[in-house]
Every structure is written in structure tokens, then in C-alpha cells.
Amino acid sequence: MSWRRTVQPRLHFLALQRRRWRGLSRVLRFRDGHHFQAAARHGARVEIAIEEQYRNMREVLDRHPHAVEYAREAIRRAGMTVHERPIRGGTDGSKLSFMGLPTPNIFAGEHNFHSRLEWVSVQDMEKAVEVIVNLAQIWEERS
């Protein structure tokens, strides 16, 4: 009996940047590796498809630093301390930034993202609204 199988791993890279294509070549080196040899030995074929899902919004935000500074100021006006950590892609901010609207991600108060235990308090949502109102005021003041 002959078995024919096609293994199609889908490699998804978040936040591919032009300068990171070099790193992609390292990932593709496994083409000469054991995965393909093992598949061929059993009459199977391995196909790789690389698709860009989200781009790194920093590419846009670096050209529009005022957008990030306005967000920081809005958080400070709400009486909070700014804590930054990079979110490279996979957000609405990434999509909007590459559509021409520089959009840094700001908090919405939620905890335990994308888990069964995700939650948000009313107080956190109220603070998020305060930050958004402050942000709108800052854009109006500086326009």
C-alpha cells in the first residue's frame, strides 16, 4: 500500500520588517534538513508558505513620534505612570498605522488577555475613558 501525504506547515511571522528578512533565511535553512528527507523517504512532500500577517507598527510610529508622546501625555494627565512595552504587531494599532493613521496601543484596563480568566474592572475602564478623552484634548490643543 502506498501512502501519499502532504504536510503543509504554515509559518506565520508577526512583524516582518525589511531588515528582518535576513533572519528569515535562517528559518528556511531547515529546507535542507531532516523534515524534507523524512517526508521524501515516506512519499510525502513538505510545502512552506510564508505570509505577512502584521507589520511592525514601530516602522510608522518612528516617523510620527508625536503620536506616541501625545499618548504618554494623556496617561500622565489621568494621574498614572507610563509603563511601556513593545507590542510589535497583531493589533488594530498596527493595521491602522499602515493605513496612514499612526496609532500607538494604549491600555483598555484588561487583565489576563485572551484567556479564560480575562477580566476588566469598572475602575480600569473609567481610567481608560479618561485617557482617551485626554488624548482627544491633546490632539485638539496641538493641532
- Residue indicated by cell numbers 480575562: 118
Percent of residues, the chain, with pLDDT higher than 70: 70
**Is 129:121 a contact under the CB 8 Å cutoff?**
no
Specify the pTM.
0.65
* Helix (H), strand (E) at residue 122: helix 122-141
Which pLDDT score, from 0 to 100, does residue 128 have? Answer: 92
Which pLDDT score, from 0 to 100, does residue 137 have? Answer: 98
| 104: amino acid identity, one letter | P
The region of weakest confidence among 18-32, 49-63, 96-110 is 18-32
The domains of the chain are located at 6-52, 58-141
